[in-house]
């Protein structure tokens, strides 16, 4: 089950990054898709974090919950959107998105080691 979760994280993470790049380029109709994939990514990381906590990896699990919560919160701080500019909040959102994917990978590895 966790293999499917991490594969979905990878696919949704890539899709959200690509959609975000299109948004930055001014394709406003893609906003709902970007938000949807971002929420999907956050929910998957949250599920991985809960699974990790059930495997006694509490600190990793808490980190996963924190990033799963931060990603959409920082995303909504960008509204209303300004296209073709890359402000500090956008840079922070991109960094949190990449770190969230990394945390998901770490959660998956921790779950695999715990058996």
- Taking only the tens place, the pLDDT of each residue in 75-91 is 998 888 776 777 888 89
- Please compute the mean of the pLDDT values over residues 14-25 and round it to a whole number: 94
Residue 42 has pLDDT above 90, yes or no: yes
- Please compute the mean of the pLDDT values over residues 60-84 and round it to a whole number: 91
Q: Which domain holds residue 102?
A: 2-114
What is the total count of domains within the chain? 1
CA 49 to chain centre: 12
Determine the straight-line distance between the first and last CA of the chain, rounded to whole angstroms: 12
Distance CA 1, CA 20 (A): 28
Distance CA 58, CA 8 (A): 23
Work out the pLDDT band at 115, boundaries 50, 70, 90: confident
Q: Which residue has the tokens 């919950």?
A: 65
- Please compute the mean of the pLDDT values over residues 59-81 and round it to a whole number: 93
């Amino acid at each position: 089950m966790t293999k499917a979760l991490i594969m979905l994280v990878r696919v949704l993470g890539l899709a959200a990054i690509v959609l975000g790049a299109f948004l930055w380029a001014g394709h406003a109709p893609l906003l709902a898709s970007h938000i949807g994939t971002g929420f999907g990514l956050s929910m998957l990381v949250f599920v991985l974090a809960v699974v990790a906590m059930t495997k006694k990896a509490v600190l990793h699990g808490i980190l996963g919950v924190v990033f799963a919560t931060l990603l959409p919160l920082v995303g909504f701080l960008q509204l209303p959107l300004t296209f073709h500019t890359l402000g500090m909040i956008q840079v922070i959102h991109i960094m949190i998105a990449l770190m969230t994917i990394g945390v998901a990978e770490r959660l998956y590895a921790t779950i695999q080691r715990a058996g």
